[in-house]
Amino acid sequence: MIERILAEDWTSRNPRAERLLSAQHHGFLNEADQFTEEEYNRFPIYTDLMQPCGYGFGAATAIHVPSGDNLVFSVEKKRDSGPVSRQGIEFLDLLRPHLARAALLSSRLEFERINAAVEALQMTGLPSAVLTNDGKVIASNALLEGLAPQVSVAAFDHLRFAYAPANAFLTNALAQLRLSPISTATASRSFPLPQREGAPAAVVHLVPVKGDARDIFVRAASFLIITPVDRKQVPSAETIQGLFDLSPAEARVARSLAAGSDVAGTALHLSLSPETVRSHVKAILAKSGMNRQTDFVAAIATIPPIG
């Protein structure tokens, strides 16, 4: 039943949770006291999900924690065994304070792990943040804050870029992640930020949080990592050659392109014909597994030099 709830997105059309949260009751609610028989035979969550699985009676409680989450604990019972008894509700209410403390501690521990991950990225020189699935910033490091006004945390803790097309790309990328099953949301997404108001050009990477990194008590959906592009600190031709298994000539062409030269400028600088440079570019893309010259240049330009 849980697999169906996730796969068919019943969480977004669940009158059980809505009624539970609206009651604002500091204890477990008996489902049989909240829904009539007519509602049980009318609401799709019962007729299409609960009844076919043999369920329909249960008890639940909602606990609001400082992180802003509402944690819902639901105990399901088979329909043919009848409603939860009053003694059962009393027993669950005795457990509720312990459940609340455990949930709060788990939430806090996961939040500290997020902060630790963000700070680890700061140690590598990467501005970064952790986002919810709707773009709200859960945590960010000081390097990201230093990119303002090119990147800033705006109203309602949402991330905003001064470059308007980047906001549209982020919105679309987050929407795609929300529509993807957790098990398949593995592909990172990247988009450029042009140089603006003294801030360097950069590449923004949106990396989904997946697998064991997800926790039921944390709304983290993705890491946002920004790699500034500094054309003055392009890696050496030898480094590029080693990374992509290029020939020495191909590595020199790759470094020239990453440093900002076009095909004509690279040909003039390296005393090659434009046709030879284009031939090297074709080989570079084949070896790197990339389809476009701009993708390869962006990848090279965002590699930090080894000092």
Q: Which of 171, 198, 229 is the last residue of a domain?
A: 229
Torsion angle, CA of 232/234/235/240, rounded to 10 degrees? -160
Reply yes or no on whether the pLDDT at 80 is more than 50.
yes
Query: What is the pLDDT at residue 301?
Result: 63
Query: Distance (Å, rounded) from C-alpha 256 to C-alpha 86?
Result: 76
Asked if residue 41 and residue 14 are part of one domain, the reply reads: yes
Q: Which of these, 194, 201, 259, lies nearest to 227 by C-alpha position?
A: 201
Per-residue pLDDT, 82? 86
Q: Say how many CA atoms lie within 13 Å of 45 toward its Cβ.
A: 17
Q: Which amino acid is at 191?
A: F
Tell me the CATH number at 246. 1.10.10.10
Section 69-96 average pLDDT = 89
The residue from 77, 107, 137 where one domain ends is 107
Q: What average pLDDT does the chain have?
A: 81
Write the CATH number for 175: 3.30.450.20
Amino acid present at 239? T
Is residue 96 domain-shared with residue 132, that is, in the same domain?
A: no
Cα angle 146-217-62, degrees, rounded to a multiple of 5: 125
Q: Are residues 153 and 87 in the same domain?
A: no
Q: Is residue 19 part of a domain?
A: yes
Q: What local confidence, expressed as pLDDT, does residue 256 receive? A: 87
In this predicted structure, the answer to whether residue 218 has a pLDDT above a threshold of 80 is no
In this structure, what is the dihedral angle of CA atoms 216, 20, 78, 44, given to the nearest 10 degrees? Answer: -90
Q: Is 306 a member of any domain?
A: no
Instruction: Tell me the pLDDT tens digit for each residue of 253-282.
Output: 988 888 778 889 899 989 999 999 999 999
What pLDDT is attached to residue 212?
53
Q: How many domains does the chain have?
A: 3
Model pLDDT, residue 272:
93
Residue ending a domain, choose from 229, 263, 291: 229
Q: What is the pLDDT of residue 274?
A: 92
Interval 209-233 mean pLDDT: 65
The neighbour count for residue 148, using CB atoms within 10 Å, is: 13
Q: What is the pLDDT of residue 267?
A: 92
In a domain, 44, yes or no: yes
Per-residue pLDDT reduced to its tens digit, 9-52? 887 788 888 888 888 888 999 988 888 889 888 999 889 998 89
Same domain, 93 and 23: yes
Closest CA to 301 of 264, 271, 242, 261: 261
Tell me: do 196 and 266 sit in the same domain.
Answer: no
- Evaluate whether residue 117 is within a structural domain: no
Cα–Cα distance between 166 and 13 in angstroms, integer?
32
* Distance, CA of 46 to CA of 14 (rounded, Å): 10
Residue 199 backbone dihedrals phi, psi, to 5 degrees: -85, 140
pLDDT at 180: 67
Mark whether 159 and 215 lie in a shared domain: yes
What are the residues whose beta carbons fall under 8 Å from the beta carbon of 220, sequence distance 6 or more? 110, 114, 130, 131, 132, 138, 209, 213, 214
* Domain CATH code at residue 51: 3.30.450.80
Whether 173 and 262 share a structural domain: no
For residue 114, tell me if it sits in a domain: no
Task: Identify the weakest region by mean pLDDT among 15-29, 44-58, 84-98, 226-240.
Answer: 226-240
**Is 181 strand, coil or helix?**
coil
pLDDT at site 124: 61
Q: Determine the Cα–Cα distance for residues 58 and 74; give it in Å rounded to an integer.
A: 7
Together in a domain, 29 and 81: yes
Cα dihedral sign for 81, 84, 90, 94? Answer: positive
Mean pLDDT highest for which of 30-34, 55-59, 212-216, 277-281? 277-281
pLDDT in the model for residue 307:
44
The answer on pLDDT for 242 being more than 50 is: yes
Average pLDDT over residues 168-191: 72
The phi and psi torsions of 64 (rounded to 5 degrees) equal -90, 130
Amino acid letter at 200? Answer: P
More confident residue, 166 or 13: 166
Q: Give Rg (Cα) of the chain.
A: 27
Confidence of residue 126 (pLDDT cuts 50, 70, 90): confident
Q: Let me know whether 246 and 219 are in one domain.
A: no
Please give the pLDDT value at position 88. Answer: 94
Full-model pTM: 0.49
pLDDT at 302: 60
Greater pLDDT, 37 or 209: 37
Q: Residue 67 has what pLDDT?
A: 62
The β-bridge relationship of strands 151-153 and 137-140 is unpaired
Hey, which residues does 55 pair with through a beta bridge?
78
Nearest to residue 35, comparing CAs of 84, 88, 105? 84
Confidence of residue 66 (pLDDT cuts 50, 70, 90): low
Instruction: Write down the pLDDT at residue 233.
Output: 65
- Whether the predicted pLDDT of 162 surpasses 70: yes
Tell which residue, 204, 215, 209, has the closest CA to residue 186.
Answer: 209
Q: Determine the structural domain holding residue 91 and report its residue range.
A: 2-107
Please check whether residues 205 and 252 belong to one and the same domain.
Answer: no
Tell me if 113 is assigned to some domain: no
